[in-house]
Amino acid sequence: MKRRQFLSLGVATLAAPAIISRRTVAAEPGAPLPIPDVMEVGPGAGNILSAIKGRAELIPGVESDTLGYGQDYLGPLLRFQRGRTASIDVENRTDDPITAHWHGMHVPGYLDGGPQLAFGPGKTWSPELPVDHPAATLFYHSHVHGRTAEQVYRGLAGMIIIDDPEIDDPLPRDYGVNDFPLIVQDRSFDRSGRLTYDLGMMGRMQGFHGDDVLVNGAIRPKLTVPAGLVRLRLLNASNARIYDFNFTDGRQFHQVASDGGLLPSPAAMVNLRLAPAERAEIIVDFSDRSAVRLVSRNVGSGGMMGGGMMGGGNNTATLDVMSFDVGDASTSGPVQLPGSLPATVSDLGEPVRTREFILNISSGNMISSMLNNLIGQDRQTMGINGEPYDMSRIDQQVQLGETELWRINADMMTHPFHVHGVSFQVVTMGGRAVNPAEIGWKDVVHIEGPTEILLRFDKPATVDTPFMYHCHILEHEDAGMMGQFTVG
């Protein structure tokens, strides 16, 4: 039997029960968007980020078992300043090992919070982070090998904003007034309204896809914004879902930053695609005072899986994300979008070395591995370059300060590829040349065909605490689609 036939049979027989056991929540939309508390992290003591077990009412009136950093679900907004050390005590008050990985930050391996830095219940990890990064919107989350997907799903994640006192940010930047964090995640709930994490066959292959979208932990919330320019910091903190955001009235908006910081100039668009772990800052003009909803087109993971394997059912459906109401005119912030931005995309020079990476759904015999994935017998069957992740194996050794070209491709599916310890530039995507400046500094790139990135590492990582590269579909990462490397 051909693979395609085999897979479509599998979908037909196994997808149906999964749909029956879940429900789409009929919660009234319109609960106010929760705005995460800010934790300004500087060099002093007393910044405590405590991973705890929570009971969160994600569905009003029903408590779910969750995890959070210092709160029931998710964590505070961490605010770091470039040029200042950020000292933070991460406590583990959960029942399992955790980490706190500063996704997108440029810190040495021993401060990065990767899988080797997992620490057990009752322990505290106290990194002092030298903040050496342009102004940007980053991500933090637990990163314990084999448990990342469920820990992030339950809530061990949050947003970081890095401020750069050296630049004059010409965009709206009054937090909670005209500058908002939007942490977007899809989740599923059982009939009683409790958060569930049931992978099943589909989730194992494609990563988890939930039925409902949460923003900052609330289902389809409502935000009242001032009538004027508003900055939205979008973080796709979902395990596997790709969003293609747009507004219901088709309005144009401008992207002003990607993963690693500001773009050279605002880019006009009517829809924005974000793969897992990608970030984008957008400016939306609400001066017409009309209420509008932010929605997402359902995007598949392409390749041979085509549309049929998409989790969560209907491939053409639109997902409701949140709604906006418009209040009074802003009293602060710019009234006009600047034509150019203080971006930092620099010339990395010519690469001195090329490395190749193939992301594999199966790392051995394809059909038997696929079967194992489908039935969940062996979680370690995904890999990169034919090998599943092995914590005791160093896959690459990179020289500090040298520019390299990495070529990444994938078999069968598209994958968001992430590299620790660096921001990179994308030079080709899906086999086509792109302008790196337009895309900006990235730390995740969606692999939809041959992709080339340029990178230059300036932070070291040793054998004991190497950096990771991996697929950011968290179920793929946990199943072994990850490698590690030293920089020195």
Cβ–Cβ under 8 Å, residues 405 and 351: yes
Q: Considering only the stretches 117-125, 191-199, 396-404, 419-427, report the one whose residues sit in contact with Cu ion under the rule CB under 5 A.
A: 419-427
Going 433 to 439 to 444 to 447, the CA torsion angle's sign is: negative
Contact indicator for 77, 429 with CB cutoff of 8 Å: no
Instruction: Please give the residues from 448 up to 487 whose contact with Cu ion meets the rule CB under 5 A.
Output: 471, 473, 476
State the binding partner of 204 from Cu ion, ligand C2O, none, CB within 5 to 8 A by kind. Answer: none
* CA dihedral sign of residues 149, 155, 156, 161: positive
Taking CB within 5 to 8 Å according to partner kind, which of ligand C2O, Cu ion, none is near residue 241?
none
Out of 222, 418, 442, 456, which residue is the one contacting ligand C2O (CB under 6 A)?
Answer: 418
Residue with smaller CB distance to Cu ion, 319 or 473: 473
Closest CA to 216 of 32, 462, 10, 405: 32
Q: Is 103 in the site for Cu ion (CB under 5 A)?
A: yes
Interface residue with Cu ion, options 106, 233, 279, 415 (CB under 5 A)? 415
Q: In whole angstroms, what is the distance from residue 182 CA to residue 354 CA?
A: 36
- Report in angstroms how near the CB of residue 108 gets to Cu ion at its nearest: 14
Cα distance between residue 155 and residue 70, in whole Å: 11
Interface size with ligand C2O, residues (CB under 6 A): 11
Q: Does 456 bind ligand C2O (CB under 6 A)?
A: no
Q: Label residue 83 left, alpha or beta by phi (over 0 means left) and psi (-120 to 50 means alpha).
A: left
Minimal distance, residue 383 CB to ligand C2O, in Å: 16
- Stretch in the footprint of Cu ion (CB under 5 A) among 103-111, 213-221, 350-358, 398-406: 103-111
Binding ligand C2O by CB under 6 A: which of 141, 204, 233, 279? 141
Between 189 and 441, CB nearer to Cu ion:
441
User: Are the CB atoms for 218 and 163 separated by under 8 Å?
Assistant: no
In the complex, minimum distance from the CB of residue 6 to ligand C2O, in angstroms, rounded to a whole number: 32
Considering only the stretches 127-135, 139-147, 294-302, 450-458, report the one whose residues sit in contact with ligand C2O under the rule CB under 6 A: 139-147
In this structure, the number of other CB atoms found within 10 A of the CB of residue 174 comes to 15
Q: Is 103 in the site for ligand C2O (CB under 6 A)?
A: yes
β-bridge partners, 3: none
CB of 365 to Cu ion, least distance (A): 19
Chosen from Cu ion, ligand C2O, none, partner binding at 147 (C-beta under 5 to 8 Å by type): none
Q: Which of 22, 209, 420, 456 binds ligand C2O (CB under 6 A)?
A: 420
> Burial level of 118, CB count in 10 A (0-12/13-18/19+)?
buried
**Could you please report the per-residue DSSP string of 28-90?**
PTTPBPP-PPEEE--SSS--EEEEEEEEEEEETTEEEEEEEESSSSB-PEEEEETTSEEE-EE
| Site of tokens 């980020």 | 49
Name residue 389's amino acid.
Y
Q: Transcribe 284-331 into DSSP letters.
A: EE-TT---EEEEEEE----GGGTTTT-TTS-SSPEEEEEEEEEEEEPS
Q: Least separation, in Å, of the C-beta of 224 and ligand C2O?
A: 31
* Ranges within 260-319 binding ligand C2O (CB under 6 A): 277
Residue bearing tokens 């939309």: 29
* 470 forms part of the interface with ligand C2O (CB under 6 A): yes
Binding partner of residue 277 among Cu ion, ligand C2O, none, CB cut-off 5 to 8 Å per kind:
ligand C2O
Provide the binding-site residues for Cu ion, judged by CB under 5 A: 103, 415, 420, 471, 473, 476
Provide the binding-site residues for ligand C2O, judged by CB under 6 A: 101, 103, 139, 141, 143, 277, 418, 420, 468, 470, 472
